Amino acid sequence: MLEKMFNPDSVAVIGASRNKEKVGYAVLHNLIESYKGKIFPINPEADEILGIKTYSSIEDIPLDENVDLAVIVVPAKLVPGIMENCGKSGIKNIIIISAGFKETGIEGARLERKCVRIAKKYDIRFLGPNCLGIIDTSSDLNASFSAVMAKKGNIALISQSGAICTSALDWADNRNVGFSKFISLGNKADLAENDFLSDLIDDSSTDVVAAYLEGVKDGPGFIEMSRRVSKAKPLIVVKAGRTAAGSKAVSSHTGTLAGSDEAYDAAFVQGGVIRADSLEDLLEYSRAFSMYDIPQGDDIAIITNAGGLGILTADECQRQDLSLAGFEEKTIDELKEKLPPAANIYNPVDVLGDADPDTYEYALNTVLEDENVDGIILLISPQAMTDIENISSRVAKIIQSATKPVLCSFVGGTKISAGEKILTGSGIPNYTFPERAVASMRALSSYRKIRKKEYHSPPVIEADRDTVARIIEKAQEKKQRTLGLEAFDILKAYNIPVVEKEIAKTLPETIEACESIGYPVAMKILSPEITHKSDVGGIRLNLTSRADVEKAYDTMISSVRRYMPHATINGVQIQRMIEGGREVIIGMNRDVQFGPLIMFGLGGTYVEFLKDVTFGLAPLTENEANHIVSSIRTYPLLAGVRGEKPHDIGCIIDTLLRISQLSLDFPQILEFEVNPLVVMDEGKGCTAIDMRLTLRES
């Protein structure tokens, strides 16, 4: 779709400049240095720049010249006019490098919206504004003001920050890392991550997709797109603005609303994205993927000439959920045969401090052949006898033809650098410390599971949507924003089992209700103002007789009156007591970027103090609902411990799916919570005991 943006027949640079300090110079210069097609510099005050004929405006370019791409570097306020001209001249792809738009405030945002309107009118797609531009190494296009051209390679980098692009290019330049495409997103007024991700799925020059994002433009679309990308190639993302401090910084940077990190985490899991925790991880993981095959399992071997480094690596493997491979007997025999007697021939293999290139080569080849080994981490400490250059050359040759990943960590500085240079020259990374090699191995391995993942459609949920619509409408008419027990019919409409209950407004009504439901019962205060009923004495449990109920009614009402003298009391609700079972909570709130974010956890203190909760984004599939439930740390309490019967997890999953659908069906619902949902033994179902719902201001 964006074919002509990355591989144009000819390019116009609007705002080309002969002043070396100006961006308009840098862009033109970069294009001339890289690009083989025709270039049209536009500058009303020059006849030629850098030896190329210059036009005073787009309209002056002869009509038979097919300008596929225009790069705009003029001051912001001139951009809309220029876009009009581009539109009239039939240019369909534009990169707006100029800054001074949304990121500067209201006036800039207005200008930006104007650009979007013009683009729509002329069917133009544009990148930016406020970006560095793009680089495509397969079409030799550097349409950016970056001072460095990317080396050819198989990594596509998408970045919402131009300066991150610059740092990444400089990092890569020093490490012989190449890119297929470099895309600086800027303000994402039109084209955004999803558009480029879509293009990269079938881009044969790209094997790895890496992205620095401060937010996504279309959350649900991002999940969908990530699934498609990650089926084809690894997609690694670092998300800036994870914390409150960071997301405050984001909004002052590009005016993006960052959204909650829980939502991003859920989106990344549901979309098959490998999340990098830092820019360093993003770059290192990408480099690993660009170079190595995916390990076929999690069993890792370590080869080292330094016991201490081997131990640190073993520690980190375990911390990263990788295991140390148990060697085949053949391997042990072969290592025993040729390694010195003091060497450790088990994993980690210690070839000893004086190991020569032959020994390293032999050990590496032997361990590579072991079928129990899925990947290798090879360590070197530059000891007195260590022939770092020859070891590096031998090892590099083996790695290049190996079908299992062999990640190197040569640990040191001065003496290591000769070996590092040899590795780098062969396109092999050196991880400066073993922990970094392990982290990259972990990333490689995680993609194996992602690629195998199957995505199903969310189930079709039958529901009486009319009833829910009526309840919400009525509440809105009454300007009531919070609904509680009285809205249980919403749950019923979605076939979520609710506790048997009746509402009573007086003591006699209450007694009648109790006798009809049957003892034991629970009694709860009904008041729109009271959200934490137990805090004001608004809940009485386990009432077993008429006398109990009479006493409880009086003390409850007076307790509530004392705590909240001005609360409207609409009566009490009588519920049958549910005996046994395990309490869980299902909640929903709306993330600004991804929509309904569903939360799950065990009831009570587990949620509140231990934050033992998991999240998923609607629409949930059955697999995803299952994942959410089984990912809490206290899952064993649901699955059954010490011979306890398992609880009805199927019923929880079903309820999650129904609430996911409800949240999608009714965007008027801002927040929603079923708390508690009591889950009985397997096959015995679950029951919603209480709920709370907040409506959007209408």
Q: Scan residues 513-532 and list those touching a copy of itself (CB under 8 A).
A: 532
Q: Which of 85, 383, 390, 393 binds a copy of itself (CB under 8 A)?
A: 383
Contacts to a copy of itself from residues 127-156, by CB under 8 A: 145-148
Q: Looking at this protein, which amino acid is placed at residue 14?
A: I
Question: Binding to a copy of itself (CB under 8 A): which residues in 351-370?
Answer: 353
Between strands 93-96 and 125-127, the pairing is parallel
Instruction: Output DSSP code: residue 110.
Output: H
Q: Is 473 in the site for a copy of itself (CB under 8 A)?
A: no
- Decide: is 306 part of the binding site for a copy of itself (CB under 8 A): yes
* Site size for a copy of itself (CB under 8 A): 100
Q: By CB under 8 A, name the one of 382, 405, 601, 676 that touches a copy of itself.
A: 382
Residues 169-174: contacts with CB within 8 Å, 24+ apart?
A: 171/283, 172/283, 173/148
CB of 418 to a copy of itself, least distance (A): 11
Contact between 342 and 334 (Cβ < 8 Å): no
Residue 160, interface with a copy of itself (CB under 8 A)? yes
d(CA 426, CA 475): 68
Work out whether 390 is an interface residue with a copy of itself (CB under 8 A): no
Distance of alpha carbon 100 from alpha carbon 72, whole angstroms? 13
- What is the distance, to the nearest Å, from the Cα of residue 76 to the centroid of all Cα atoms in its chain? 32
Rule CB under 8 A: say whether 676 interacts with a copy of itself. Answer: no
What's the burial of 155, exposed, middle or buried (CB within 10 Å: 0-12/13-18/19+)? buried
Please select the residue that binds a copy of itself; options are 381, 440, 510, 614, rule is CB under 8 A.
Answer: 381
Measure CA 464 to chain center. Answer: 34
Tokens of 19: 């002043």
Cβ-based nearer residue to a copy of itself, 149 or 669: 149
Give whichever of 145 and 672 is closer to a copy of itself, judged by the CB atom. Answer: 145
Question: Amino acid letter at 91?
Answer: I
Using the rule CB under 8 A, which residue among 390, 570, 631, 634 binds a copy of itself?
Answer: 634
C-alpha closest to that of 359 among 306, 307, 305: 305
Q: Does 350 bind a copy of itself (CB under 8 A)?
A: yes
Here's the x/- map for a copy of itself, 22-41, by CB under 8 A: it reads as -x--x---------------
Binding mask 89-128 for a copy of itself (x = CB under 8 A): ----------xx---x------------------------
Contacts of 427 (CB under 8 A, 6+ apart): 176, 291, 400
CA distance linking residue 155 with residue 159, whole number of Å: 13
Least separation in angstroms between residue 538's CB and a copy of itself is 13
Instruction: Select from 61-69, 200-208, 431-439, 495-503 the region that touches a copy of itself (CB under 8 A).
Output: 431-439
Least distance from a copy of itself to the Cβ atom of residue 47, Å? 26
Which of the ranges 47-55, 216-224, 377-385, 573-581 carries the binding residues for a copy of itself, by CB under 8 A? 377-385
The distance of Cα 213 from the centroid of its chain, to the nearest Å, equals 9
Regarding 639 and contact with a copy of itself (CB under 8 A), the answer is: no
Q: Across-strand partners of 239?
A: 213
Taking the least distance from each CB to a copy of itself, the nearer of 248 and 551 is 248
* DSSP assignments along 6-55, one per residue: HS-SEEEEET--S-TTSHHHHHHHHHHHH--SEEEEE-TT-SEETTEE-B
Asked if 21 interacts with a copy of itself (CB under 8 A), we say yes
Nearer of residues 203 and 316 to a copy of itself, judged by Cβ: 316
Contact 692, 490 (CB under 8 A): no
- Looking at 16, 250, 367, 599, which residue binds a copy of itself (CB under 8 A)? 250
Residues 208-237 that bind a copy of itself (CB under 8 A): 212, 214
Task: For the CB of residue 244, give the shortest distance to a copy of itself in the complex, in Å.
Answer: 7
Least spacing, CB of residue 606 vs a copy of itself, in Å:
8
Interacting residue with a copy of itself among 432, 467, 626, 631 (CB under 8 A): 432
Nearest distance from residue 172's CB to a copy of itself, in Å?
7
Nearer to a copy of itself (CB atom), residue 649 or residue 662: 649
Interaction between residue 607 and a copy of itself (CB under 8 A): no
By CB under 8 A, is residue 435 in contact with a copy of itself?
yes
Give the Cα separation of 67 and 208 in Å (integer).
30
Candidates 88, 319, 397, 546: give the one binding a copy of itself (CB under 8 A). Answer: 319
Within 200-325, strands assigned E span 208-213, 235-239, 274-276, 299-304, 323-324
Q: How far apart are CA 648 and CA 597, in angstroms?
A: 23
From 379, 373, 378, select the one nearest 324 (Cα to Cα).
373
Check residue 612 for interaction with a copy of itself (CB under 8 A). Answer: yes
Among 123, 414, 457, 477, contact with a copy of itself (rule: CB under 8 A): 414
159 binds a copy of itself (CB under 8 A): yes
28 CB-near residues (< 8 Å, 6+ apart): 13, 16, 17, 39, 41, 49, 50, 52
Tokens 């030629």 label which residue? 48
DSSP three-state, residue 382: coil
Give the tokens for residue 266.
């859920």
Q: Does 466 help bind a copy of itself (rule: CB under 8 A)?
A: no
